[in-house]
Copies of this chain bind each other. A is one copy, B any other.
Amino acid sequence: MSDNASDKRTWFYDGVTPDLGIVHRVESMLYSGRSAYQGIEILRLGSFGLCLVLDGKIQSSEADEFIYHEALVHPAMLAHPAPRRVLIAGGGEGATLREVLRHTTVEQATMVDLDDQVVAVCREHLPSFSEGAFDDPRAHLVVGDARRFMAESEKAFDVIVIDLPDPIEDGPARLLYTREFYGSVRSRLSEGGVMVVQSESSRWYDLQAFAAINRTLRDVFRFASPYQAHIPSFSSLWGYNIASDSVQPATLDAAEIDRRIASRLSTSLRSYDGTTHQGLFALPLHIRTSADAVGSVLTDACPLSVF
C-alpha cells in the first residue's frame, strides 16, 4: 500500500509578489463558495491545519491564529486601564472576539462584520477559532458595514479593534483604511480610548501599506505606534498599528505587562507576555528607515490598494 503523505499532490499557491510565492500542501478542501462580497474557502493545509481563505488569501490558520490574534488584541486592551465596552470591526472568524472576551473587565463586545456568510462558515467549520465566543452573553454581533456603523452609532467604546481583510481593488474593505474612516473611529472612542488595526505585511520589501496606515493614523491621533509579529502560516512578519490620544503602549515595560495579564485575564496566553511585548514594538532599523521613506496619508480620494 502506498504512503499516505505522498499521495497528496494538491497545493495552495499564496502569491506574495510577482517574483515570490509560498506553496502549501492541501490535505482537503472543506468548503468552497462565494458570498455577496468575496470568495470563501476552508482548506486543511499540511503544515497549519484548517485555514480560512478569502479571495485567495489565507486569513488565519488553526495552528497559529493565536499568535496573530493575541498580538492584535492584547496590547491595546492592556494599554487601557479598564476596557469595558469594546468594538470589533471585521474579525469574521470569531477569534478576535474570543481574545477580547478573555478580559474580565469587558462588559460588552460588539462585533460588526459585513459578511455573515463568512461568520456562518467559520462557526461551522472552524469552531476552535471562536471557542464559543459568539454565545457569550457579553458578545453582540452586528451584520453590516463598519464604516456606516461608525458614522451612525452614538455609542462610545474604550477599545476599538479593526480586523479587516486586505483593501484590494474594488473590494469591500478599501475605504476602511483612510483618514476619514480613522477620524470616524476616533469619534467613537471614549475618553482614554485606544484603537488598533491589522496593518498588512511588514515585510521589509513590502512596507507601503504598513507605513501608510501608520502615517495616516499619526495624522488623526496624538500617538500611533507600529508593531509586528511573525505569523508562520503567512511566512511573513505582519504589521499592526495602535493609536490613541492618551496612552502609548510601546512604553509599558515587560514587568507591567505581565502584571496586567495576571490581574485582568481569565486564562493564560500562548504567545503574548511582557517579553513578547518588548519584541513586538522593537522594529529593526532597516524597517524603521524604509517605512519612513514610503508612508503617505491615505484618504477616501486616494485610498490604499494592495495587489
Known contacts: A2-B171, A39-B4, A271-B286. The answer to whether A20 contacts B20 by CB under 8 A is no
Known contacts: A282-B276, A284-B271, A285-B275. The answer to whether A203 contacts B229 by CB under 8 A is no
Indicate if the CB atoms of A286 and B22 lie closer than 8 Å.
no
Which range contains the number of A residues in contact with the other chain? 35 or more
Known contacts: A1-B170, A7-B39, A230-B230. The answer to whether A24 contacts B28 by CB under 8 A is no
* Interface assignment of A6: CB less than 8 Å from any CB of chain B: yes
CB-CB nearest in chain B for A64: B204
Indicate if the CB atoms of B7 and A55 lie closer than 8 Å.
yes
Indicate if the CB atoms of A17 and B278 lie closer than 8 Å.
no
* Interface assignment of A46: CB less than 8 Å from any CB of chain B: yes
Residues of B within 8 A of A9 (CB): 12-15, 53, 56
28 A-B pairs with C-beta separation under 8 A: A1-B170, A1-B171, A2-B56, A2-B168, A2-B170, A4-B34, A8-B56, A9-B13, A10-B10, A16-B235, A19-B24, A19-B47, A20-B22, A20-B46, A21-B22, A26-B29, A29-B32, A67-B204, A67-B284, A67-B286, A203-B232, A204-B230, A235-B235, A270-B285, A270-B289, A275-B283, A279-B282, A279-B283
